[in-house]
Chain A
Amino acid sequence: MGSVRSEVNPGRCAVSARNWKTIAWNGVRFTVPGDWDPARVGRRHLLLESAPGPVMEVKWAAVKGRFSGGRHLRKLARRVGRNGGVFRETALPAKWRTSVAGFEAEGFQWDAGTERSSGVLLYCPACRIASMIQFLERPGADITTSNAARVLASFQDHRSDDRTAWALYDMVALLPDSFALERCRFEAGRFVLEFNGPVGRLTLYRWAPAEVLLQNRNLADFAQTVAGGKGLSFRSFTVHGHPAVDGGDPLPVGPGGRLRARLGLGRFRRLRLWRVAGRNRILGVRLEGRRPIEDPEMQVVSDAYGMADERPCDTASADPR
């Protein structure tokens, strides 16, 4: 008992609060202080919170037709009014104005008694995406104007390389645009992102702590029992230098089997798991489609996925705005 308690490091949170981290999700990317964590994650919605409560909210969507910022702000004003708040459109603070250069931007504020917000509605004419970013202020919350300006300055809503970056918690992936997010789950110890793509369904897994999960079994057993690889035979190899297992459904045999596969009538799985021992994590990629999953297809997605500080893919490199 004592040995466990002795590892308490009260200063850890304070240290992480000074660092900034990148969040990339379904097309948008920005940096935030280290102690701002996702509290709610949707396909096109992120709510971040720090210890005192929610601090920042981002919503974004593609705009069809002509963009009208005023119409969106009036909708927002009605919603705020229904909840008893007072809404007003404002000029952008000087610091924010330079941060959001390149966007069409309109500022707003609302006050609902215990909670206030300052935000901005952004529209990017290049990619036709509108984003609402608001910074929520509660008593005790550390939302300084400089923090908000820095977050806004880092905000990007498109890339030039036909890829979409994903970076949340310690997961990082840089996938082709053709993979659309279907579902995500962030449970303690188990993160799952599911995509629909050209080859079929792609699932990215991340489990922790690896040393506990692999206490009484090896990676192949884990893949079969926990990662949905039941019935697959696994072979050992390495991914990014980490011990890994890879398994898939057998290739179709016989003319009938080959014809079924060719017509897309079969169901083929391919699962690859690797253990990042230094970070105490297990990462996994699962591809599922109607045709056999070839090695190069599997290689592309597993190369594009990894841990945040391993940087198997550079989420920051592409065109900012």
Chain B
Amino acid sequence: MGWLTKDRATPLPPTRGEALDCIPVKNRYVREERLENGDVLVRYPVTVRPWMGVLARWLGAGAAPPRTAKLQLDRLGSGVWAMLDGQTSLRRIAAAFAETHRLERKEAEVAVTQFVRQLGRRGLIGLRRDSTPGCRRDGSPPGGRQHTSREERRPPVKRP
């Protein structure tokens, strides 16, 4: 019965500084288009939840074809989206955002992290944590811990 009482090794949540060192990476299935007004339109495939697919097949409807969802980003969001190059950390993106719009540093960090969280919830991006700062600047492969979210590898799943 040791498994009942055994302490689970729960990792400490990252500090604000560690979170800002994460690098957002776009989902490879996402397609983007720049509109005439400068906004970015993001198209991404969505699938229904697996159990709903099973249910649909069981009911004889066959597998549902993947659909494409669209998300139009406003001017601020489009600016942040343009900075997601898979190499720039959230901290540097927030600093650039603060400088571009003359915002408070903390305010820019909150705005950028909230936006990135929303994109993450939709599966449009993942976050890579790199414990050796600066190792990506010269384009060399990242060292240290590297976590790639599932969203980076799989198409996003649409929550019904």
Residues of A within 8 A of B (CB): 1, 4-5, 7-10, 12-13, 16, 35, 37-38, 49, 51-53, 114, 138, 140, 169-170, 187-189, 208-209, 211-212, 215, 279-280
Residues of B within 8 A of A (CB): 12, 15-17, 20, 75-76, 79, 82-83, 85, 88, 91-92, 95-96, 98-108, 110-111, 114
Smallest beta-carbon distance A309→chain B, Å: 12
Smallest beta-carbon distance B115→chain A, Å: 9
Contacts of A4 in B (CB 8 A): 79, 82-83, 96, 100
Taking a contact as CB atoms under 8 Å apart, the answer to whether A7 and B103 are in contact is no
- Measured in the bound complex, the distance between the Cα atoms of B110 and A274 in whole Å is 25
Taking a contact as CB atoms under 8 Å apart, the answer to whether A7 and B100 are in contact is yes
Contacts of B16 in A (CB 8 A): 49, 51-53
Taking a contact as CB atoms under 8 Å apart, the answer to whether A208 and B105 are in contact is no
Taking a contact as CB atoms under 8 Å apart, the answer to whether A169 and B95 are in contact is no
Contacts of A1 in B (CB 8 A): 82-83, 85
Shortest Cβ distance from A138 into B: residue: B15
Contacts of B103 in A (CB 8 A): 189, 208-209, 280
Taking a contact as CB atoms under 8 Å apart, the answer to whether A37 and B105 are in contact is yes
Contacts of A35 in B (CB 8 A): 105
Shortest Cβ distance from B103 into A: residue: A208
- Measured in the bound complex, the distance between the Cα atoms of B98 and A209 in whole Å is 10
Taking a contact as CB atoms under 8 Å apart, the answer to whether A189 and B107 are in contact is yes
Taking a contact as CB atoms under 8 Å apart, the answer to whether A5 and B83 are in contact is yes
Smallest beta-carbon distance B5→chain A, Å: 19
Taking a contact as CB atoms under 8 Å apart, the answer to whether B82 and A188 are in contact is no
Please name 26 pairs of A and B residues whose Cβ atoms are closer than 8 Å in the assembled complex, sorted by A: A1-B82, A1-B83, A4-B100, A5-B82, A5-B83, A5-B85, A8-B99, A12-B95, A12-B98, A37-B105, A37-B106, A38-B106, A52-B16, A53-B17, A138-B15, A140-B17, A169-B106, A188-B110, A188-B111, A188-B114, A189-B111, A208-B103, A209-B103, A215-B75, A279-B102, A280-B103
With contacts A52-B17, A170-B104, A188-B110 taken as known, whether A212 is within 8 angstroms of B99 at the C-beta atoms is no
Q: Which listed residue, B12, B15, B76, B95, touches A8 by the CB 8 Å rule?
A: B95
- Measured in the bound complex, the distance between the Cα atoms of B14 and A51 in whole Å is 11
Residue among B82, B83, B105 with the highest chain A CB neighbour number at 10 A: B105
Contacts of A49 in B (CB 8 A): 16
Taking a contact as CB atoms under 8 Å apart, the answer to whether B96 and A8 are in contact is yes
Shortest Cβ distance from B112 into A: residue: A188
Q: Which 3 A-B pairs have the closest CB atoms?
A: A188-B111, A51-B17, A209-B101
Smallest beta-carbon distance A99→chain B, Å: 26
Smallest beta-carbon distance B38→chain A, Å: 10
Taking a contact as CB atoms under 8 Å apart, the answer to whether B104 and A10 are in contact is no
Smallest beta-carbon distance A308→chain B, Å: 10
Contacts of B88 in A (CB 8 A): 5, 8
**Extra inter-chain contacts (17) besides given A52-B17, A208-B103, CB under 8 Å:** A4-B83, A7-B96, A8-B92, A8-B96, A12-B95, A12-B98, A12-B99, A13-B95, A37-B105, A51-B20, A187-B110, A188-B111, A189-B103, A189-B107, A208-B107, A209-B76, A209-B102
Shortest Cβ distance from B76 into A: residue: A212
- Measured in the bound complex, the distance between the Cα atoms of B13 and A53 in whole Å is 11
Contacts of A9 in B (CB 8 A): 95-96, 99
- Measured in the bound complex, the distance between the Cα atoms of B91 and A83 in whole Å is 32
Smallest beta-carbon distance B28→chain A, Å: 18
Shortest Cβ distance from B97 into A: residue: A4
Taking a contact as CB atoms under 8 Å apart, the answer to whether B111 and A10 are in contact is no
Contacts of A208 in B (CB 8 A): 101-103, 107
Q: Which listed residue, A51, A188, A215, A279, touches B107 by the CB 8 Å rule?
A: A188
Contacts of A52 in B (CB 8 A): 15-17
Contacts of A212 in B (CB 8 A): 75-76, 101
Smallest beta-carbon distance A18→chain B, Å: 14
Contacts of B102 in A (CB 8 A): 208-209, 279-280
Shortest Cβ distance from B88 into A: residue: A5
With contacts A4-B79, A4-B83 taken as known, whether A12 is within 8 angstroms of B107 at the C-beta atoms is no
Contacts of A187 in B (CB 8 A): 110
- Measured in the bound complex, the distance between the Cα atoms of B106 and A208 in whole Å is 13
With contacts A169-B106, A280-B102 taken as known, whether A5 is within 8 angstroms of B96 at the C-beta atoms is yes
Contacts of A189 in B (CB 8 A): 103, 107, 111
Taking a contact as CB atoms under 8 Å apart, the answer to whether B105 and A13 are in contact is yes
